[in-house]
Structure 1
Amino acid sequence: MFQAPDYSEEAVSMKLSEVLADIGVDTRMVLKRRRSMLLLQSIFMQCSRLCFIKKHITCPYMMGSQAEGTTTLGLNSDTDNIYCLDMYHVIQDWSDWQPGVINLLMIQDRSVSPGYCRLQLLRHDSPLPMRYYKCKSKNSPCTIYRRDRYGRVLLKNSLICHNVMYRGPHERPERHGPAFTLECNLCEHDNVIALPCTTWPLQARQWLHQQSVGQWPTDEIKQYCCSSGCLLVGVGRHGSENEDLEWRISTSLAERCLMNNLNITQIRCYVLMKMIIKTFINPLFTDVISSYMCKTVLFHCIENTQSIIWQEKNLIVCLSLCIHDLYTNILNENCPHFFIPGNNLMRGKITPEVKPFILEILQRIINSNVVALLGIKCDDLGTRLQLKFNNISICPFRTCEDISVKLLHLIAIQLSRESTSFSYWTWGPIQALKQNISDIVSLQCHGLDKTARNLLAPRVCSRLGSVLASRNIQQYNTISAEALNWISLGLNTNVASSKLKLASMLYCTRQFGRAEIVLCDIERHYDLNIVEPFCPHHVYRLTRRQAFKAVCDQNIEEALQNATANCVQFWPCEVYCFPKELRQEMFRSTEEDKAFRTIRDSWMDHVEVDSLTFLYFLQYKIYSHLNKQEDTRLALSKLTRTIEQEPNLAHRETALNLLGQCMEQEHRPINALQYYSLSLNIRRRNNAAKIHICRLLSRLVNNQY
């Protein structure tokens, strides 16, 4: 299979391995992806421990290809987050019953399909079945439990509602099956609510004792899988008589363990299988062959072959084995679950009309030589492979550095979301907020948990300091030592944004000299050849700053601190911390405009401005007050050039609104009107430019210039 003229299978395998390494499927990048996903998981955990709204939800398990490191930029895999509701105690044996909690017994008899179960409610005072359940609300029917024909009180899988996943204002994920899909700037997040069971499923016990040809998985891996237990997802088998009472048994934790113990050749086989399916099958038959089926086929193939085969020089042979097994499964319309063989993953997926066409496609791939791989456009794999055969450099293609940049953006977005979520849910009396922040700072943790805390805590401290400063400025026109102390704890979260907030506060208290010093320090550290602007609400173009890519590729946490400049964000409660020119941004939306907002527009009730834009605007205002005319003109020139030339400004319309007000201060109303009009061209709705245009026209009509 896949033999090119003048090339042996071994030679083609080595070339193919080089290509896959170029697009990020190598040991270093796989481990980097996994570490980044675990860091995202830790960031959520550090925040969720302190948010009372999440007290019944344990931290998410990051699953899927992103967490496994088995994806590429071209595959664009989503992120699967599994949240566990720990308010329920799920058991498989009566001896595991516990008093005082909600005990649910897994029913796995012949009335339930393999891979599924039902959950029977037990009494909280004794290990006996609950025979009667009364709704607490007299005005609404009971929708959580239902009695079956045997009198058992069973938990319905419709228990899981989207309100559980409600994270903050404007966030309403859509449900698709058991998952709640939440769009992100870089990928989609599939959030799944599950009930945890600490014991290994009865239906999978036989797997623990069976022997494999390749002695894989090892006894140690099996023991770990067994100790990980299982998860119950709220979805029944399609077409089942009691579909609403069935729960799917998920072995995701055990599968993650198996994936983490694969070698790089096995991982590359899995990635190639997904590319083949995406290239040749999905365009014609969507959602027939899933990546989960490919993973299952890979597990069975590894289990049934000698481990010595899975080497880099045998990549083509290994891929051939996997494709052959996939073909056989489709032919028999049976892809047995790796842990629960009775659960056929292909049941009802392949219709008689579709089956012959899929088999024909796979047969052509099996019979072909390397031309089959040359036809893969995902990540330009085919083109890259062709160039490799001809010993041509592939510099124009995306590299592993681009993956590092994407991982940095994912972590930065998560930090922004969680720090905002923490502040939103814990907001209340300042003293209570201080206590919550003190709790997160004093948490005893190690490893990635400590890294997550060190990334999250300064951002929350900076927010608290800004709120305190706003109250100080309102009441006393000064900034208290306490507020400055909290602000100082968050100054180094990134290159500019926190320091810019400090400079803005100093400007609002007319401490122009101190503000100038802060701005000079920011500009000295803001290397335009390295620092990349960042906003969690903006979809960025691929960065052109090669130095930024290099920093990301070396250390993501260091890049977050020294090579990114977050947008400066002010909440309404921080209104006295920023110049009056920005206040109209909080009132950008009419009631009609709000109807056109989406989940990505949650920032519109706040003030957000790009760091570089705000830096030059503050310089312009401060130098104007200090009567430094040359510096004032230079700052205005830099502001104009940034708006025109920086490709990754997230809030260009806000920058134009600021530039327009600078032009008004320069007594150039026509130029100001032009910039406001440009702002409206970028964002027709939810734009404060309308307010500025009305005000400017009013002044022109009344000869106030």
Structure 2
Amino acid sequence: MSEIPDYTRNVSLSLSKVLDEIGVNERMVIKTRRLQLMNESLCTLAHKLKDEDEDGNMYTLGSRVEGTTTLGLNSDTDLLFTLAAYTVIQDLSEWEPGKINLLMIQDDTVSPGYCLLQILRQDAPLPEDNVYDQYWYRDRIGRVLLKNAIVNSRAGAEFVRHGPAQSMDEMPGFYGNDLVLAILCQQWPLQARQWIAQQGEGQWPTYDMKQYCKDMGCFVVGVGGKDSENEELEWRISTSLAERYLMFNLNITQIRCYVLMKMILKSFINTQCPDSISSYMCKTVMLHCISSTENHAWNENTLLICLNYCLTILYNCVLNENCPHFIIPENNLMARRFTPVTKQVILGTISYILSSKGSALLEIECDQLGFRIQNTFLRLVEIVPEDMSCEISGNLVGDIGLFVNELHLDFLKHTNNISHIRVLLQTLYKYLMKLTHYMNQGQNKLACSALAKFLSMHLGSALASMNIHSQVGLCRESTVLMSLCLNVDLISSKVKLASIFYCTGEIERAELILKNIEESYDHNVVEPICQCYDFKHKKSKRAFDKLCYEADDEYTLLQSITASCVKFLRYEINCCPHELQHEMFRSPQQDLPYRGKNDEWMDMAVVDSLPYLYFLQYKTYSHLRRHRDKQAALSNLAKCIIEEPFSDTKIQH
């Protein structure tokens, strides 16, 4: 390290310090990965519960789960969902009964990194001879192949096709979502087997890491190679899970180098040549650089050297119009990517950055990077290092709360139209039993617990509503189920229980619960969470963000500092006061064809937790003839409506 010039070392250390300040540090990377993987488990379990594709899995990919993004980069959420009805095999001996078996074909007619999928019979490992629908195609030598357009039929209407991804249009204040529908292949692809045996100068990835990647298998996604004669028949081979695993094994300097490359891409290249170079290309270039250098070369003292090395390799890739895929090098990511003018602009831009010896980074406005670099030398303002990490932590924890609520709302949508209470109870019991089964299989226990609590709450509430209607009083099973889910969050389930007691005439019990809730509700900390409609408001409370940053068990913290809205479905009509019951019938149903995907609440009674708390207090104190407390509750309700941003959903999703 003594051979590193002082200027380079100082700039590298300043860059490392600034990136630490904006949340690119080991603590935040680990926290981000942990919470994004929690979201992944929640989404997979939700799909399995509803029997939509019971063996299908949802994977979170890209920058957000890798921990390689910042608030300013504003990266999309990349999701990959496997279609469980299909399986891709590379040899007839792998054929599985009961599934649509697809034989992977990689020959001279297929672009490198792509394959064809030949359909096999379901009763025997033999080629299928019939063409059953528009997604099956018989080629000139008689093979029945699956068209990649079939992925369009499996995506929702709100998604737009962009390459292999179904992209949901981004709304103001929200992250975009890219959903890739994929088919799993248990075996490592032939085109990638040479990578297992090769070893770069840096001895990275190690042999054990490569074997782990191999055991993951691969996916095929529905997009063909550009300018291919078989574009509608080709499927791209994706090693995205292996790449995610490799990214999880980078050190913090390597992660910071990749973040800087993406900032340069956003600030210098995409402003002049949009869609010319992707962040995936930058990632690929960096992985090649890591594999060709010793691991000790990547440290805080050498960050600028590492960045310039990656930019030099990127320059050569653009110059030669060849960026080899890291695992399947025959697949050129830059093939036919640039016009001559675009190419010269990109080369000139990279040359300018390289020749600047780091000073070009001062021009980057993303996350105030340039200003922050200057500030490390000039000390223009005092910066609290944890500020951005706290804000990111608040967003992450809020994301979990919002996502759980989104899945909760989705379940309710599937059960709200069940007209017979017995069928409803059977459905909710079935969901709970499946969650118990998945938990016993070792799947994410926190994710199972989160969904089980919401289901238990509605099961207990449905039983209570049935008891109230029959005038038999609350059954023990109902109260036990409700008591199991009182910590879904700080307030919503407890307010719902108080509402049930109020409707059964147990006013004193209702009043006691409401009083305890009010005493525990810290207005400086608690954040409302709601997914009934898409809207973003101002930043979350600083105290909320700080607690999220300091926490190592974010899910437990979520239960004490968030407040979800309270939802009553029609089968819970007897569990809420008559003022709310009318909300369940606000629509004459003629508007059904015109509703959007987030209008499920239209047939429910939905109210934010805090105002509902004060409303119930007003009702209970009226019954108890405590007029001073009644007036205090009414004043709190009015103040809450005016001052609390309870109906604005802040969390970016």
Deviations 1:442-484 (A, max 9, x none): 5444877112122221111001111222222223274322222
In 2, the alpha carbon distance for the partners of 1:403 and 1:235 equals 34
Partner residue in 2 for 1:153:
144
Q: 2:429 aligned to 418, 434, 439, which one?
A: 434
Over alpha carbons, which structure has the higher Rg? 1
Q: 2:648 aligned to 635, 650, 653, which one?
A: 650
In 2, the alpha carbon distance for the partners of 1:127 and 1:594 equals 46
Deviations 1:612-633 (A, max 9, x none): 1111111112212222111111
Report how far residue 112 of structure 1 moved.
0.5
Q: Go from structure 1 to structure 2 and tell me whether the alpha carbon gap of 1:68 and 1:397 turns closer, same or farther (over 3 Å shift).
A: closer
In 2, the alpha carbon distance for the partners of 1:127 and 1:610 equals 56
Q: Go from structure 1 to structure 2 and tell me whether the alpha carbon gap of 1:375 and 1:397 turns closer, same or farther (over 3 Å shift).
A: farther
- Percent identity over paired residues: 48
Partner residue in 2 for 1:292:
280
Report how far residue 588 of structure 1 moved.
4.3
> What residue identity is the alignment partner of 1:408?
V
Report how far residue 582 of structure 1 moved.
2.2
Q: 1:176 aligned to 141, 162, 169, which one?
A: 162
> What residue identity is the alignment partner of 1:344?
N
- Give yes or no for contact 2:22–2:70 (8 Å, CA) kept in 1: yes
Q: Indicate the SS of the match to 1:238.
A: coil
Range 233-242 or range 222-231, more displaced: 233-242
Q: 1:410 aligned to 391, 399, 411, which one?
A: 399
In 2, the alpha carbon distance for the partners of 1:338 and 1:398 equals 36
Report how far residue 502 of structure 1 moved.
1.1
In 1, the alpha carbon distance for the partners of 2:443 and 2:259 equals 27
> What residue identity is the alignment partner of 2:165?
A
Q: Go from structure 1 to structure 2 and tell me whether the alpha carbon gap of 1:277 and 1:161 turns closer, same or farther (over 3 Å shift).
A: same
Partner residue in 1 for 2:247:
259
- Give yes or no for contact 1:186–1:410 (8 Å, CA) kept in 2: no
Q: Does 1:549 align with 2:535?
A: no
In 2, the alpha carbon distance for the partners of 1:335 and 1:520 equals 64
Partner residue in 2 for 1:138:
none
Partner residue in 2 for 1:495:
490
Q: Indicate the SS of the match to 1:600.
A: coil
In 2, the alpha carbon distance for the partners of 1:604 and 1:340 equals 50
In 2, the alpha carbon distance for the partners of 1:270 and 1:303 equals 14
> What residue identity is the alignment partner of 1:296?
T
Equivalent residues in 2 for 1:602-641 (5 A)? Answer: 602-641=600-639
Report how far residue 240 of structure 1 moved.
2.0
Partner residue in 2 for 1:120:
118
Partner residue in 1 for 2:570:
572
In 1, the alpha carbon distance for the partners of 2:443 and 2:23 equals 23
Equivalent residues in 2 for 1:424-503 (5 A)? Answer: 424-425=413-414, 428-441=423-436, 443-445=438-440, 449-476=444-471, 478-503=473-498
Q: Go from structure 1 to structure 2 and tell me whether the alpha carbon gap of 1:125 and 1:440 turns closer, same or farther (over 3 Å shift).
A: closer
In 2, the alpha carbon distance for the partners of 1:222 and 1:593 equals 55
Deviations 1:416-446 (A, max 9, x none): 2223334544764413422331332354448
Report how far residue 24 of structure 1 moved.
1.1
> What residue identity is the alignment partner of 1:624?
S
Report how far residue 125 of structure 1 moved.
4.3
Range 41-50 or range 364-373, more displaced: 41-50
Report how far residue 373 of structure 1 moved.
0.9
Partner residue in 1 for 2:61:
63
- Give yes or no for contact 1:81–1:191 (8 Å, CA) kept in 2: yes
Q: Indicate the SS of the match to 1:181.
A: strand
Q: 1:348 aligned to 336, 340, 350, which one?
A: 336
Deviations 1:128-147 (A, max 9, x none): 323x2153xxxxxx212110
- Give yes or no for contact 2:499–2:575 (8 Å, CA) kept in 1: yes
Number of equivalences: 634
- Give yes or no for contact 1:423–1:460 (8 Å, CA) kept in 2: no
Partner residue in 1 for 2:366:
378
Partner residue in 2 for 1:559:
557
- Give yes or no for contact 1:274–1:294 (8 Å, CA) kept in 2: yes
Deviations 1:549-580 (A, max 9, x none): 22212131122111111111112222221122
Partner residue in 2 for 1:51:
50
- Give yes or no for contact 1:455–1:493 (8 Å, CA) kept in 2: yes
- Give yes or no for contact 2:439–2:448 (8 Å, CA) kept in 1: no
Report how far residue 43 of structure 1 moved.
1.7
Report how far residue 542 of structure 1 moved.
4.2
In 1, the alpha carbon distance for the partners of 2:588 and 2:425 equals 31
RMSD value, Cα: 2.4
Equivalent residues in 2 for 1:91-130 (5 A)? Answer: 91-99=89-97, 101-130=99-128
> What residue identity is the alignment partner of 2:545?
K
Report how far residue 51 of structure 1 moved.
2.2
Partner residue in 2 for 1:83:
81
What residue ranges of structure 1 are gaps of 5+ in the alignment? 1-5, 136-141, 653-705
Q: Indicate the SS of the match to 1:58.
A: coil
Deviations 1:198-222 (A, max 9, x none): 1111111111122211111110111
> What residue identity is the alignment partner of 2:104?
M
Q: Indicate the SS of the match to 2:505.
A: coil
**Alignment TM-score, normalising by the size of structure 2:** 0.92
In 2, the alpha carbon distance for the partners of 1:503 and 1:388 equals 54
Q: Does 1:526 align with 2:521?
A: yes
Q: Go from structure 1 to structure 2 and tell me whether the alpha carbon gap of 1:651 and 1:121 turns closer, same or farther (over 3 Å shift).
A: closer
Partner residue in 1 for 2:581:
583
Range 484-493 or range 273-282, more displaced: 484-493
Q: Go from structure 1 to structure 2 and tell me whether the alpha carbon gap of 1:125 and 1:577 turns closer, same or farther (over 3 Å shift).
A: closer
Equivalent residues in 2 for 1:223-262 (5 A)? Answer: 223-262=211-250
Partner residue in 2 for 1:506:
501
In 2, the alpha carbon distance for the partners of 1:446 and 1:584 equals 43
Range 350-359 or range 244-253, more displaced: 350-359
In 2, the alpha carbon distance for the partners of 1:550 and 1:430 equals 41
Q: Go from structure 1 to structure 2 and tell me whether the alpha carbon gap of 1:83 and 1:336 turns closer, same or farther (over 3 Å shift).
A: same
> What residue identity is the alignment partner of 2:159?
P
Partner residue in 1 for 2:11:
12
Q: Does 1:133 align with 2:130?
A: yes
Report how far residue 591 of structure 1 moved.
6.8
